Amino acid sequence: MKRYAVLTLMIFFMLCSTVWAQKLTLMLDWFPNVDHLPVYVARESGYFTAQGLDVEIIVPSATSDALKLAAAGKVDMAVSYQPQTIMAADAGLKVKAVAPLVVKPLTTLMFLDDSIKTPADLSGKKIGYTVPGLMDMLLKGFADINGITNYIPVNVGFTILPALASKQVAAVMGPFKTYETVTMQQQGVTARFFELEKYGIPEYEELIFAAGDSTLEAKKTAVNGFILAVHKALIDIKKAPDKALALYFKALPDVDKETETKAFALTAKYFATPGQVSDPEKWQAFIDFALKYGLIKNTINPQTLIYNLNN
């Protein structure tokens, strides 16, 4: 009888923990990949559960969905980009950066044609972009700075390699130097690229966690718990990267392990350090750039865009 009583109590507590866990939805910026590894490590390690959270990870149907839906309160949080958050705020969206995920630019202007030596060589050509409302605007600023004239922007979304290989476009703004270079190499294609920060674009935080103002008011404790859980995962990644990668593969068993392993080796050094917060000076530098080249219309105080976990 005692054994059955213990079993009944265990089931009771399991059911209670499920009922008491607060639901939090996170929409990714892209299909799941090693850029999101800290999130999956936090989930597989039980860090979200320890914070009383039930985190649902959602894949967007379009590359620009996540931040818009977070701002509207349709999802609780989004993986997004510092530049996109600034542009969204300029457009009136009520959204804030909660914490950085990848703290250095990974975005490139990528191409296959080895005859392209300088950005200006792309003048008069079709140039693709991946995320509407972000990469097309970055392309505009990049083109203005680097003398690319009379180009035609084309939204290619997720279809980067097909668009380049078919010569639908001569280059694409948006591919990461840590991921698409690997996936293309796996398919026998050599990717060439211009790194944005080396061609006049200020350094920025590539990936951030963002949330709408309504979520930050209604679910402040849950959001704080989410970030604490991710910070624990970041500690684990620094200490034992191989174990962290194994947890990621456990969460996503169908991914290409060779590609993801190589991409992780390139990406890991760019993850935020545990406890790291967004840098207002870095945000201000990008705001100044965005104003100068017409990416935004209004002066923005970066402090109004960066959420303070301690408040």
**Confidence class of residue 7 from pLDDT cuts 50, 70 and 90?**
very low
Share of the chain above pLDDT 90, in %: 86
Domains with residue ranges and CATH for the chain:
2-103+205-304 (3.40.190.10), 107-198 (3.40.190.10)
Rounded to an integer, the average pLDDT of 9-24 is: 59
User: Among 7-21, 118-132, 143-157, 178-192, whose mean pLDDT is lowest?
Assistant: 7-21
Phi (first) and psi of residue 63, to 5 degrees: -70, -15
Question: What Cα–Cα distance (Å) separates residue 145 from each residue in 129, 148, 196?
Answer: 17, 8, 11
pLDDT of residue 62: 72
State the pairing for strand pair 207-212/77-80. antiparallel
Cα-based angle 309, 310, 311 (whole degrees, multiple of 5): 95
State the pairing for strand pair 107-111/171-176. antiparallel
Q: What's the CA gap between 300 and 33, in Å, rounded?
A: 32
pLDDT of residue 20: 73
**Confidence class of residue 88 from pLDDT cuts 50, 70 and 90?**
very high
pLDDT of residue 64: 67
The string of pLDDT tens digits covering residues 238-284 is 999 999 999 999 999 999 999 999 999 999 999 999 999 999 999 99
Answer yes or no: are the C-beta atoms of 59 and 177 closer than 8 Å: no
pLDDT of residue 21: 82
**Confidence class of residue 185 from pLDDT cuts 50, 70 and 90?**
very high
Q: 267 is written with which tokens?
A: 């990406």
**Confidence class of residue 17 from pLDDT cuts 50, 70 and 90?**
very low
pLDDT of residue 133: 85
Rounded to an integer, the average pLDDT of 151-172 is: 95
pLDDT of residue 4: 46
Strands (E), 107-156: 107-111, 126-129, 152-155
Q: Which residues have CB under 8 Å from 205's CB, separation 6+?
A: 81, 82, 97, 100, 101, 102, 103, 104, 278, 279, 282, 283
State the DSSP string of 65-91: HHHHHHHTTSSSEEEE-HHHHHHHHHT
The string of pLDDT tens digits covering residues 50-78 is 999 999 999 988 766 899 999 999 999 99
SS3 176: strand
pLDDT of residue 8: 47
pLDDT of residue 225: 97
Rounded to an integer, the average pLDDT of 140-144 is: 96
| Mean pLDDT estimate for the chain | 92
**Confidence class of residue 311 from pLDDT cuts 50, 70 and 90?**
low
Residue owning tokens 């004239």: 149
Query: Residue 212: beta bridge partners?
Result: 95
